[in-house]
């Protein structure tokens, strides 16, 4: 089961999973994010890839945390009100909640593996994207449920350029560029590197990675 936002990373992971597992399903969470367009893109991408798609409404969560991504006032590049070392776009414990809920649902549908697009290489500095967090979270959940669900994070140590290269290798580069949505502002404006406002940190990472990927392609013919 793939934790699937409809963004570049999780779309690449969905294709990666489809090419390696006999049966794959995707789970998407609506947590009150203002860039709700990603959910519509997730539906479209899952349908295109022929993957059963589960959408879970956990919008109550936005009333429990501070983040500009859940409607708090502020600039996307400001400091987070609860932790000045993190950006205002950080959603506290979001990945912990996603992994918890996905782990629970995996037991229901008898999925032995969770796949998440977590990455600690080219990212916005969110502490819940790091490998040590993901491993600790899964260890605790497996202990608590007496299970052996495995977590795979194929992008953990890849740059964004390498993630674009992986999408190409898995046969979904065009789908990632045209349909996946990563922009914090919810912009659907098209660029050579994909959809986005071309101003927020997520767009900056994606644009930079795409240009590095294209440069790599040119160098290697």
Distance CA 122, CA 109 (A): 32
Q: What is the distance, to the nearest Å, from the Cα of residue 132 to the centroid of all Cα atoms in its chain?
A: 17
User: What is the model's pLDDT at position 221?
Assistant: 67
Distance CA 176, CA 140 (A): 33
- Beta-carbon contacts of 168 under 8 Å, excluding residues fewer than 6 positions away, are none
Rounded average pLDDT per 10-residue block, the chain, 221 residues: 98 98 98 94 98 98 96 91 94 97 98 97 89 98 98 97 98 98 94 96 96 92 67
Is the Cβ–Cβ distance between 88 and 75 less than 8 Å? yes
User: What is the model's pLDDT at position 183?
Assistant: 95
Domain boundaries, the chain: 2-176
- The CA-atom distances, in angstroms, between 10 and each of 71, 77, 82, 87, 167 are 23, 23, 27, 22, 10
CATH architecture of 2-176: 3-Layer(aba) Sandwich (3.40)
Distance CA 119, CA 128 (A): 10
User: What is the model's pLDDT at position 140?
Assistant: 98
Q: What is the DSSP string of 176-214?
A: HHHH----TT----EETTEES-SSSHHHHHHHHHHHHHH
User: What is the model's pLDDT at position 124?
Assistant: 79
């Amino acid at each position: 089961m793939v934790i699937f936002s409809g963004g570049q990373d999780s779309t690449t992971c969905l294709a990666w999973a489809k090419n390696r597992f006999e049966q794959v399903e995707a789970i998407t969470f609506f947590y009150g994010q203002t860039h709700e367009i990603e959910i519509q893109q997730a539906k479209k991408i899952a349908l295109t890839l022929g993957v059963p798609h589960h959408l879970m409404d956990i919008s109550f969560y936005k009333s429990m945390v501070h983040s500009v991504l859940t409607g708090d006032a502020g600039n996307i590049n400001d400091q987070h009100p609860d932790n000045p070392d993190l950006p205002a776009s950080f959603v506290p414990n979001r990945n912990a909640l996603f992994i918890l809920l996905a782990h629970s649902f995996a037991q229901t549908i008898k999925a032995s593996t969770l796949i998440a697009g977590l990455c600690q290489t080219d990212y916005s500095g969110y502490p819940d994207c790091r490998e040590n967090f993901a491993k600790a979270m899964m260890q605790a959940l497996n202990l608590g449920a007496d299970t052996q669900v495995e977590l795979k994070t194929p992008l953990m140590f890849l740059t964004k350029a390498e993630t674009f290269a992986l999408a190409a290798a898995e046969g979904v580069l065009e789908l990632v560029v045209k349909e996946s949505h990563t922009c914090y502002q919810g912009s659907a404006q098209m660029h050579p590197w994909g959809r986005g406002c071309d101003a927020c940190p997520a767009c900056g990472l994606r644009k930079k990675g795409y240009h590095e990927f294209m440069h790599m392609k040119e160098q290697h013919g």
